[in-house]
Structure 1
């Protein structure tokens, strides 16, 4: 049975959710601060392009490998302690990165940052599920995603400016921001007496083997894999290369493409979240995946700048529709009265896996076949996820154990 979350009144619950949303915004800004300077910072240790790129990859690989352990920690210790510990690890590793004396130190510190990142990502997801009332899960998921998105847009702009003061400066600023976030979360995010660890032990554990038997959960896993592949992989790695190869204003257009995608996603998220609470998770998810999939497929054959940017906006709109809806669907499956650390870890891992494999495999397709093939394959993945969802049950109305 799905109960409303702990924490007392609706006002108290919403205050805690706002704390998580604010922390997500700070974290996303901070990550964006170091993103523009990280490859250059790595190269300052006299390494090549491949080694500099590996500094970016090690963060995602560490997230992927440590996700199962993070899920176990959430089940044993509770969400809040793991969330704070994850933030602390990222803060310490970021500060250490600013003081790194060689390439290998930087590599180790960024890997540790990836471990902390997956800890607070999974625990934050669990906290949102636990706190959000069932009839507001879509809206709260969209609000949380919007905070990350807006922080991700603002961060790189500030990071580029701070990078002019020195490559280590953005790392220092991000460390300070994380320390502030830790203090705010520690003082403002509190639960009722008994301790978070005790509550984690008392709650029923939702086993992964039970979740994977549910077709809606399998659909969510496939969707998140396609989402990681398309949004965090192909969009970031292949679209800029495509813009350079096809259009004369490549670098400028690449930046506009990423910005327009984010803008399309941003204007859709809140509406999509409300819609999923009103009509269910399934229809907005199918609609969003279909829009994003078709737009991505057509993107590979576009040779007009305006058409290219419009397609990026449409793909962003589609993504904005399905992201909060599928997150709310996973929340429906777990429920606020169950501890689903491992289930949420597996869900997060699929996006990380897509983000790692997407640039590599799509890059191989673009190099040895064509860009059209790379975008077509990515679009087909999104459309297949939409088809999968058509045959999955609606999580809002389906009875869960």
Structure 2
């Protein structure tokens, strides 16, 4: 019979996290706050070169586009160079890109420099996921994903406020501050992350310690991995695509509200996600990955569909918070699923890159499809499309076996 004390030790909270994971969580906060500092300034800076609103939007999209295109290269680099070196190189590329943006002399230079930053971004994103997977204890993978995602979320909330203040001192300054923050991250990681990635205690001494690579074809043969690609696409479509592109337009056109209402709705969505992250990672480690992803898809999918039919600001904010809650429910479980598929004892650069690409692809296709549906039909139909995408992923997950160890 298991004693209460032994049961307590087996709980996810009792698993001690390596120092290196805490370093990555701190680095994530610095990266996110820097990105948030630049985000509100970038469109205005682009328009300062006397270009149209559409051209300014292209500068914003260029970052996501190059992330998507160069994700396979990042996976290859992780498998050849290792996670740590790929992470540091990616951070330095984004830092150099940000500094170059500050000194751009025309629109085309700004577009080029911002696009180059996307290459570095996908490098450190894939590498960071690989590092977390290899260092996170299997019983705490969900909790580690929550910590990492929560750190990014806090940075993304704090960054725009700081960026707005810095912009008053000149639109170039936020880019230089972001570059300095990234240089600090590179130094932090190079100093506190060892060249040889530590392996969890339960893996030491096993023959599997010899680094091997999980082929993408083998991962695609697993129903759980195929399912997590669909839920990553659905979350990218909803949380990063529709939310950022369609929600502000809906607040202005359908509700007749000002831009401040759109900004509040984005913050409310982030708060809902943050609330879910306080417990969703632990539940993913105890209940399993599949229940959390199914519940997240259901909550987020239904809420996004209802959002297009809200008639006043109160319901608009409330449903936005519920949609954010759904996104936070499935986020840690998705990353933990990929970690379960790869395992601590091998590298899976292409597997990680493909998962990242699924989210980026949803974030790119979602706004385009939604814009078409708004023009041809209505906002309600456009938001319901997010529900349909979530429902398809839900069907992929139903027959999949939970990968939780």
The alignment's TM-score, normalised by the length of structure 2, stands at: 0.92
Per-residue CA deviations over 1:165-194 (Å, capped at 9, x if unaligned) read 111010011111111111111101114499
* Aligned-partner Cα distance in 1 for 2:87–2:35: 17
* Aligned-partner Cα distance in 1 for 2:227–2:16: 33
Q: Which runs of no fewer than 5 residues in structure 1 stay unpaired? A: 1-9, 195-199
Partner of residue 245, structure 1: 253
Q: Does residue 279 of structure 1 match 2:306?
A: no
Partner of residue 113, structure 1: 117
Partner of residue 185, structure 2: 181
Partner of residue 226, structure 1: 234
Q: Does residue 75 of structure 1 match 2:79?
A: yes
* SS of structure 2 residue aligned to 1:36: coil
Shift of 1:221: 0.4
Out of 387, 390, 404, the residue aligned to residue 396 of structure 1 is 404
* Aligned-partner Cα distance in 2 for 1:193–1:35: 33
* SS of structure 2 residue aligned to 1:161: helix
Partner of residue 329, structure 1: 337
Number of equivalent positions: 383
Out of 33, 36, 45, the residue aligned to residue 32 of structure 1 is 36
Partner of residue 127, structure 2: 123
Out of 311, 314, 322, the residue aligned to residue 314 of structure 1 is 322
Shift of 1:249: 2.4
Q: Does residue 374 of structure 1 match 2:382?
A: yes
Partner of residue 6, structure 2: none
Structure 1 pair 353/193, CA: closer, same or farther in 2 (3 Å)?
closer
* Aligned-partner Cα distance in 2 for 1:252–1:97: 28
Partner of residue 149, structure 1: 153
Per-residue CA deviations over 1:62-82 (Å, capped at 9, x if unaligned) read 101100000000001100000
* Aligned-partner Cα distance in 2 for 1:62–1:143: 27
**Is the 2:59–2:111 contact (alpha carbons within 8 Å) kept by the matching residues of 1?**
yes
* Aligned-partner Cα distance in 2 for 1:222–1:193: 30
Out of 87, 90, 94, the residue aligned to residue 91 of structure 2 is 87
* SS of structure 2 residue aligned to 1:166: coil
**Is the 2:101–2:113 contact (alpha carbons within 8 Å) kept by the matching residues of 1?**
yes
Out of 103, 107, 111, the residue aligned to residue 103 of structure 1 is 107
Partner of residue 22, structure 1: 26
Q: Does residue 258 of structure 1 match 2:266?
A: yes
**Is the 2:15–2:137 contact (alpha carbons within 8 Å) kept by the matching residues of 1?**
no
* Aligned-partner Cα distance in 2 for 1:83–1:11: 26
Partner of residue 353, structure 2: 345
Per-residue CA deviations over 1:207-264 (Å, capped at 9, x if unaligned) read 0011111110010000111111111110000011011012232312111110110000
- Please list, as runs of the form range in 1=range in 2, the aligned pairs for 1:196-207 lying within 5 A after superposition: 202-207=210-215
**Is the 2:209–2:345 contact (alpha carbons within 8 Å) kept by the matching residues of 1?**
no
* Aligned-partner Cα distance in 2 for 1:12–1:188: 18
* Aligned-partner Cα distance in 2 for 1:12–1:327: 19
* Aligned-partner Cα distance in 1 for 2:79–2:33: 29
Shift of 1:12: 9.1
**Is the 2:95–2:179 contact (alpha carbons within 8 Å) kept by the matching residues of 1?**
yes
* SS of structure 2 residue aligned to 1:94: helix
Per-residue CA deviations over 1:344-371 (Å, capped at 9, x if unaligned) read 0000001111111111111110111110
Shift of 1:87: 0.3
Out of 303, 306, 310, the residue aligned to residue 298 of structure 1 is 306
Shift of 1:338: 1.2
Per-residue CA deviations over 1:21-64 (Å, capped at 9, x if unaligned) read 01100101111111101011111112111211110111111101
Shift of 1:104: 1.2
Pairwise CA RMSD = 1.7
* Aligned-partner Cα distance in 2 for 1:179–1:326: 30
* Aligned-partner Cα distance in 2 for 1:78–1:12: 25
Per-residue CA deviations over 1:73-131 (Å, capped at 9, x if unaligned) read 00011000000000000011111111111111111111110000000000000000000
